[in-house]
Amino acid sequence: MIFDPYTCRKDFPILNRILPNGKPLVYLDNSATTQKPSCVIDAMSRYYLEYNSNVHRAVHTLSSEATNAYEGAREMIADWFGLTDGNLLFTSGTTEAINLVAHSWGRANLSKGDVIVLTEMEHHSDIVPWQMLAEETGVELRWVPFDKENFQLDMAAFEMSLEDAKLVCCIHTSNVLGIRNPVEEIISLAHNVGARVLIDAAQAAPHDRIGISELGADFVAVSAHKMSGPTGIGALFVNAETLTEMKPFLGGGDMIREVFLDHSTYQEGSFKFEAGTPKIAEAIGWAEAVKWLSNIGFESSHSHSIKLAQKVADAFRNIPGMTVLGRQDNDDAPLISFIHDSLHAADMAQMLDAHGIAIRTGHHCAQPLLRSLGLTSTNRASFYLYNTEEEADFLIETVQKLVERFS
């Protein structure tokens, strides 16, 4: 299957939008969230228009259809990510998935004297839940630094920090640097000392099928909305053994087997962690996204978006006063963070918006990472399969023009 961004764009009516200022939209904030193809939106509205009903509960036709679609979605998504053994728990996204681990596994298995190892690169959603847990239980948080020149994790420091570690939390691909960490090595070193491993794969999932069972992490968290799927849904993948160590988090319908006035018994597997009416339309939409990705030639789309990001990064490196974070030859994820000496990130983003170009500016929910580089904010342009070379060129030209005029 040959990948063609121009064909694939046709599935995204939003990309033809003319903004209120008269400029055509150039959407380069894909690491925050991607656009959704029409088929995803259609699949969700078809559910509401034709077979909306609650799942797992009734014997009527609509409920069977909805249950089949919902559980079918779980299977398709698990398949996409190479989950051959273990469980897919639906959550509202990466953030909820990590919080679920902190509540369900952390509170049941960690106590004072235990250590959680994390990296300085983490997103706030993989920092704050652990700080909250540490405050409550007295577990120690240990931070692994990274090299400020080549942005590699300090693996020697990582190995040293593993003493008494019960859990290692690591971002798979950085949402600021676009760099993939050596997660295979991290998982293997952590398992050697008997620690569990959580991988935040929010920025990996859009560009990589991950191969979750082969990777061997105990927990993997992803969000659908960063990979053509709807907002409001994501997943926590948990291997079978680790799942048995987790206590239920939210109590209510769907997660129980039997309820008595003095006690309740729980479902087995993922259901135990999915209380209440689940995100039915969202799961169906996410599965449709995965189907769409398989049909458009996902594997070859990565080199296309990487090429665009590299072209922009190379051009930006030639602009006087511009710093591009990340490695020069980086082909891990198609996103680049950049910052100019004398044109403030917020001004740059506002002026790009006046040209129709949407990028992200700020701390990217990674304040410790930025602080460690002596920064408070950067601009970030992130590409996805539907972006074109013309859009990359337009970004380059516009940034060059703005720097010339305003710095």
**18, β-bridge pairs:** 24
> At closest approach, how far in Å is the CB of 397 from ligand PLP?
28
Q: How far is the CB of 373 from another protein (least distance, A)?
A: 17
Taking the C-alpha atoms of residue 308 and residue 325, their distance in angstroms, rounded to an integer, is: 16
Contacting residue, 34, 87, 94, 301, with ligand PLP by CB under 6 A: 94
Nearer to ligand PLP (CB atom), residue 89 or residue 396: 89
Interface with ligand PLP, residue 123, by CB under 6 A: yes
Rounded CA separation 402/361 (Å): 16
Q: Is the separation of the CB atoms in 57 and 63 below 8 Å?
A: yes
Packed helices 280-296 and 298-317: angle between N→C axes, nearest 10 degrees: 80
**Residue 374 contacts another protein per CB under 8 A:** no
In whole angstroms, give the CA distance from residue 356 to residue 350. 10
Closest distance to ligand PLP from the beta carbon of 227 (Å): 11
Torsion-angle region of 22 (φ positive above 0: left; ψ -120 to 50: alpha; else: beta): left
Which whole-number Å values give the CA distances from 229 to 41, 60, 185, 225, 301, in the listed order? 9, 28, 30, 5, 17
With contacts defined by CB under 6 A, name the span among 14-22, 195-203, 326-334, 395-403 that binds ligand PLP. 195-203
353 binds, among another protein, ligand PLP, none (CB under 5 to 8 A by kind): another protein
For the chain, give the number of residues.
407
Q: Residue 234: which of 187, 278, 276 has the closest Cα?
A: 278
353 near another protein (CB under 8 A): yes
**Which of 88, 101, 133, 171 forms a contact with ligand PLP (CB under 6 A)?**
171
Q: Pick the catalytic residue: 8, 169, 170, 365?
A: 365
Distances (CA, A) of 201 to 123, 195, 204, 298: 11, 19, 5, 17
CB burial of 46-55 (b: ≥16 within 10 Å; e: otherwise) equals: bbeeebebbb
x-or-dash string of contact with another protein, 2-41, rule CB under 8 A:
------------------xx--------------------
Q: Which does 93 bind (CB under 5 to 8 A by kind): ligand PLP, another protein, none?
A: ligand PLP
**Residue (48 or 406) nearer to another protein, CB:** 406
DSSP 378: E
Known catalytic residue at 8: no
Residue number, 171 or 324, with CB nearest to ligand PLP: 171
Q: Binding another protein by CB under 8 A: which of 180, 226, 272, 355?
A: 355
Cα 324 from chain centroid? 22
- Rule CB under 6 A: say whether 178 interacts with ligand PLP: no
Q: Cβ 203 to ligand PLP, closest distance in Å? A: 5
For 36, 52, 286, the CA distances from 39, given in Å and listed in that order, are 8, 18, 10
For another protein (CB under 8 A), the number of binding residues is 16
Q: How far is the CB of 95 from ligand PLP (least distance, A)?
A: 3
Q: Which stretch binds ligand PLP (CB under 6 A): 53-61, 93-101, 246-254, 392-400?
A: 93-101
- Sign of the dihedral through C-alpha 18, 22, 24, 27: negative
The pattern of x and - marking residues 358 through 397 that bind ligand PLP according to CB under 6 A reads: -------x--------------------------------
The 8 Å CB, 24+ separation contacts for 42-49 are: 42/288, 43/284, 43/285, 43/287, 43/288, 44/230, 44/281, 44/282, 44/284, 44/285, 44/288, 47/280, 47/281, 47/284, 48/281
DSSP secondary structure letter of residue 320? T
The region of 196-204, 269-277, 331-339, 352-360 touching another protein under the rule CB under 8 A is: 352-360
In the complex, the residues that contact another protein under the rule CB under 8 A are: 20-21, 344-347, 350-351, 353-355, 362, 376-377, 405-406
In the complex, the residues that contact ligand PLP under the rule CB under 6 A are: 93-95, 123, 125, 171, 175, 200, 202-203, 223, 234, 365
List residues with catalytic annotation. 365
